[in-house]
Structure 1
């Protein structure tokens, strides 16, 4: 017998409009993060397609997909994913370094936009959890992406700090007319978006406008 095939997502068809803030909600293990990773070009689906800005996301080479992620997408994760040996400024400069355009001024501006203008040279270990997530938001926005994907961005934070981080993320996305796709298990946060997509057992159960 071969390995058992596990189907995480089933028959999902959805569309996200430009500048829309959409929250993916559902129980743990429902498939929220898998769906987000699939839409973001991080996890290739076995069947189906993902269209992004008129392109079939998975039809190009790995290099082409990486270029799209680096230049047109921003990412915020629950665990921040900051490099511990780099300062806040250097962490925010990383997407530019990868793309071959190191713009220190853009990174500084992005950090000031999230309220960390006085923390440019601090290492992650010298920052609080909320400050580290602000660095991650600054990094996600530094390349002026079309869309930001956020996977449980408040999951490692207390409720007060988490609320402030979500308010900041939504405010910056709306101010800059960015599309925002957020995974959360917290219904309090989900109502802040323009629309909620409820997922259960790998299937899209309902779409609810707020």
Structure 2
């Protein structure tokens, strides 16, 4: 509880979360998903808190022409992977939640166990314990039974498993459009409406 300037009691826990989102990028193929999440948040005026694994930087160098500085420059705040004392490691630091884009099976598995070894997985664990949205854009396939059981465990814990599958109904004309559609649909889960998303409006001629 707190008091406003007139002495009235305020319930701070009832106040809306600040417009900030944690963005994790792990080493699975698909670094462009994380890049475009950061671009989307910039477009939307949402504060982004970025944490990137070393494997993700390797993937970034293989799949894009971007440097690590190019990536971190897109974020409002960039946190070091080993900095477990960072703001996003605490549940008292209010956020809209966290997205991991892309999310490797290794990262997914570490989050599921709760035995976190980096700021990325620690932040994800905090988001779960605070009952905030955690969206994992898992980007490896095919899955064996262990992977599927891990996903089930995470879903039971409150995470959303959102593999970036192409929405062909949107008739993407490029890889970039496919990526943007997946990113935008993932951001929908936080109540964020990004303009590049193509919305389904029903089958043409249906009911005629």
* TM-score (norm. length: structure 2): 0.33
**In terms of Rg, which structure is larger?**
2
